[in-house]
């Protein structure tokens, strides 16, 4: 009886968290594999506008990271940097995304010699794709999407290991 009560309490706690905008809500908001990824436009680290329309016909990895220059984000960015030639060879563009301003992303890209663009999301896309529960959250969840040339989600990564993410995505790419 006590174990059953504990199970009910845990379920109610999870439901309450999801109704209050907790982690379950954000994960539930992720775009499903096979669905069209929403149209977007963001500024890169140099202030240049980048849009999903510009990437039509190309595959890309959109990796959300919480904050520039932090340990987990740096580890993930470095792993993607080191694997960048393999992504290019497979026809996949890497795009990092955070709530950081372009200047912070520029400093991050320069410090780590990232060969790919880092984009600044004002929170609008992050909420649509499950990287944040609100625009006011201040940081994004560590998630990624592999988007195909047709604009549809090939793979959604709701749980990411910073040091292993690059190799995981490469393993998920169709054979070239």
Minimal CA–CA distance to 63: which of 162, 143, 160, 150?
143
Going from the C-alpha of 45 to that of each of 27, 81, 107, 157, the distances in angstroms are 27, 16, 8, 24
Query: Active-site residue 73, yes or no?
Result: yes
End-to-end CA distance of the chain: 56
Residues 120, 77, 61, CA angle at the centre, nearest 5°?
Answer: 65
> Residue 1: how many CA atoms within 13 Å on its side-chain side?
0
- Active-site entry in 61, 73, 79, 147: 73
Could you give phi then psi for residue 140, rounded to 5 degrees? -100, 155
Which are the catalytic amino acids? 73
């Amino acid at each position: 009886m006590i174990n059953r009560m504990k199970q009910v309490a845990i379920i109610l706690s999870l439901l309450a968290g999801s109704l209050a905008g907790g982690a379950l809500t954000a994960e539930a908001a992720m775009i499903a594999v096979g669905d069209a990824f929403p149209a977007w436009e963001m500024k890169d680290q140099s202030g240049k506008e980048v849009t999903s329309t510009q990437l039509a016909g190309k595959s890309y990895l959109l990796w959300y990271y919480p904050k520039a220059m932090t340990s987990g984000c740096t580890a993930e960015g470095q792993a993607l940097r080191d694997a960048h030639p393999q992504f290019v060879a497979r026809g996949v563009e890497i795009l990092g995304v955070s709530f950081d301003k372009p200047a912070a992303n520029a400093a991050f890209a320069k410090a780590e010699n990232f060969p790919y663009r880092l984009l600044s999301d004002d929170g609008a896309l992050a909420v649509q794709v499950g990287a944040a529960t609100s625009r006011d959250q201040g940081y994004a969840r560590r998630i990624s999407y592999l988007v195909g040339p047709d604009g549809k989600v090939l793979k959604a990564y709701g749980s990411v290991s910073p040091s292993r993410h690059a190799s995981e995505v490469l393993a998920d790419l169709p054979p070239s």
